[in-house]
Structure 1
């Protein structure tokens, strides 16, 4: 399976994304031919090699000419001829001859942007009129990036923690703090990276592309690197190269691997009832798994190790839960690589009713099947039969898969 890793060490914008794909090998003429299917006029797209803090990358330019940018026969209700609203953008995409996957993914990005803008301005989606994102250059950046993903054969996208920068930025609505309101909303529930650069490192367009089409946060995913591209931003920052790096490679589709954290602490002065409560709180904080290990501590005291497996995204909330809910004076943590079977969930019709099962596959073959405990428990209570009998009946059904 071919994947792309967005290394956002200096943020992400639409033009940086498109530039990185061109730098990685996307043919600029193929890109022009694909974009021509939108029947937009009044722009030219070009790419040039530039340097940012000594590192070479590709800067994509979308030059806008004065005049009409709309497709022939396009009806437009407002006077600013370089901005579009959601329905107009969607109509342009749907009327094009682009591949359906490109159409669908492009529309997803614009729909998410419209939802964010509507929330920020407390209005409905159909009343939203895009400004920076509705301009022709941003439309080219978004749809061009989706075209790149399709033609480079990328099936999944992962990304690093995202720096936003700090300070203030000026846009159509005025001067706003960095990250801009739309960017901040798009990055909700994502892990941000703190850098002391008073510039807008991540734009709404860049945030929309990576969080809408991305499959989640990863730190250096396991893959064989085939292509590397650097997309350049407008400014040349003195300390950090103003570049987006995209690594494209192949990974074993039979398993999935990612980087996780293990957080641990030793406890010898808490009763079991409270420890059970602590486990619940850790899962609520985002732990992937929690387990206790009995140990012998100093002065002959029996104790336990609380171990938590957690993603980087939820690491801080798990640490906070440990300090708030236990008597610990300190924790230890370290990164590990986790490899798991490719998993999917199915609902099975069994003699006892519908039940959800988890199926793990390797090289396309089923290697593990497990019923969801809560479903088995519910059936046992509803039918008034022992839980072990439910498991036995469901196990017989597994052979029919």
Structure 2
């Protein structure tokens, strides 16, 4: 199993996460392409923070105030893998929920987290995580700092109210005090919270494959202002973290509502959700709603499933082991009808040997439309190019 260990012991911010994941081996081209949607003047450099080498991602973006809907519109239009966009949407949904809880339902604008740099950082971090192809994420205790910080609402205690609210709803271990100042931003907190919710697992022994550090802007003399990550190959390469399977049968819920139920479950942290058509008692057509969940999320998702469908009971098949392939996303460039296209390809490995390469369908479809060829032909060309890799 491929495991990502994140160490936010010296703090966490969006730019630090991007730098660390890039340094650990994320697909640089895909990450920068996703980020440049919001920050076209983006730059990446190698720096030293208190003796530790790190990658520093700078967006050169100015301030902006946007509504959550405006931010999500930019995110959904980004040139990024669909899985990364979905992850970024969930990150900003966490931020929106925290802002609403702190400032009330009348608060309809993001300030710092609605600016181009925050949007770019979230898109970059989510794309980087997806391209690393990790199966699980383990997050070490997070340091938030101490004292006060200045934000759009004035001088606030550390952690800032929105950051504290995000962390209150996250399964993260948090340490206060220690270093002076804000070590964890709302963006950094939301990224860690969503990474934990979507991929979280306990740390397992394994072999370190790569290490990456992402630098913050400040360079204090008493501690390195960096976030460090490690990609590990664990001792359990065949089966990934155990999951629970939740199911309920319904025959009185409309198709529109069922589609929304699946979306709600995925937004709430389900690893997967689907609908299976079945014939129920008295010959009635119906569906099994099936949800794959991490054990820590099972009770919460079962309650959501029951509430959204009106079901009187949800079955839980606990701790089901699943085969999880080592997978990575790469960029493949092809020329079709005189035009050049770059498409993401997901490669699956077993014992280090690739056995499946699948082009990202949405990108294939867009490239096929632009080239005037069938989706099937474009998919074949891209995947054949991918198979030429060693």
Alignment of 1:235-254 (within 5 A): 235-251=218-234, 252-254=236-238
Answer whether contact 2:240 2:323 (CA < 8 A) is retained: no
Partner of 2:321: 361
Partner of 2:70: 88
Change (3 A) 1:360 1:98: closer
Change (3 A) 1:359 1:118: closer
Deviation at 1:362, TM superposition (A): 7.4
Deviations 1:96-134 (A, max 9, x none): 45322111111000011000000000115xx52111100
Answer whether contact 2:201 2:241 (CA < 8 A) is retained: no
Partner of 1:6: 6
Distance in 1 (alpha carbons) for counterparts of 2:3 and 2:33:
24
Distance in 2 (alpha carbons) for counterparts of 1:359 and 1:47:
42
Answer whether contact 1:160 1:219 (CA < 8 A) is retained: no
Change (3 A) 1:257 1:91: closer
SS of the equivalent of 2:119 reads: helix
How many aligned positions are there?
256
Deviations 1:275-315 (A, max 9, x none): xxxxxxxxxxxxxxxxxxxxxxxxxxxxxxxxxxxxxxxxx
Change (3 A) 1:254 1:179: same
| Selected match of 1:196 from 178, 190, 200 | 178
Answer whether contact 1:28 1:47 (CA < 8 A) is retained: no
| Selected match of 1:223 from 206, 210, 216 | 206
Partner of 2:162: 182
| Selected match of 1:107 from 85, 89, 111 | 89
Runs of 5+ consecutive residues of structure 1 not aligned to the other structure: 66-80, 259-341, 348-352, 365-401
Q: Does 1:137 align with 2:120?
A: no
Q: Does 1:59 align with 2:68?
A: no
Answer whether contact 1:7 1:244 (CA < 8 A) is retained: yes
Distance in 2 (alpha carbons) for counterparts of 1:343 and 1:220:
15
Normalising by the residue count of structure 2, what TM-score does the alignment of the two structures yield?
Answer: 0.59
Change (3 A) 1:99 1:26: closer
Deviation at 1:257, TM superposition (A): 8.1
Distance in 1 (alpha carbons) for counterparts of 2:226 and 2:100:
30
Change (3 A) 1:60 1:90: same
Deviation at 1:220, TM superposition (A): 5.0
Partner of 1:170: 150
CA RMSD of aligned residues (A): 3.0
Alignment of 1:279-358 (within 5 A): 356-358=316-318
| Selected match of 2:98 from 116, 128, 134 | 116
Deviation at 1:240, TM superposition (A): 2.1
SS of the equivalent of 1:44 reads: coil
Deviations 1:171-224 (A, max 9, x none): 111000001001111111532124421110111110000011224877753232
Answer whether contact 1:53 1:237 (CA < 8 A) is retained: yes
Change (3 A) 1:256 1:49: same
Runs of 5+ consecutive residues of structure 2 not aligned to the other structure: 243-293, 303-312, 325-390
Answer whether contact 1:44 1:63 (CA < 8 A) is retained: yes
Partner of 2:255: none
Answer whether contact 1:17 1:231 (CA < 8 A) is retained: yes
Deviates more, 1:140-149 or 1:155-164: 155-164
Distance in 2 (alpha carbons) for counterparts of 1:146 and 1:356:
30
Normalising by the residue count of structure 1, what TM-score does the alignment of the two structures yield?
Answer: 0.58
Deviation at 1:48, TM superposition (A): 1.2
Answer whether contact 1:169 1:200 (CA < 8 A) is retained: yes
Distance in 1 (alpha carbons) for counterparts of 2:186 and 2:28:
24
Deviation at 1:255, TM superposition (A): 5.5
Deviations 1:52-80 (A, max 9, x none): 11111111111126xxxxxxxxxxxxxxx
Change (3 A) 1:106 1:359: closer
Answer whether contact 1:53 1:236 (CA < 8 A) is retained: yes
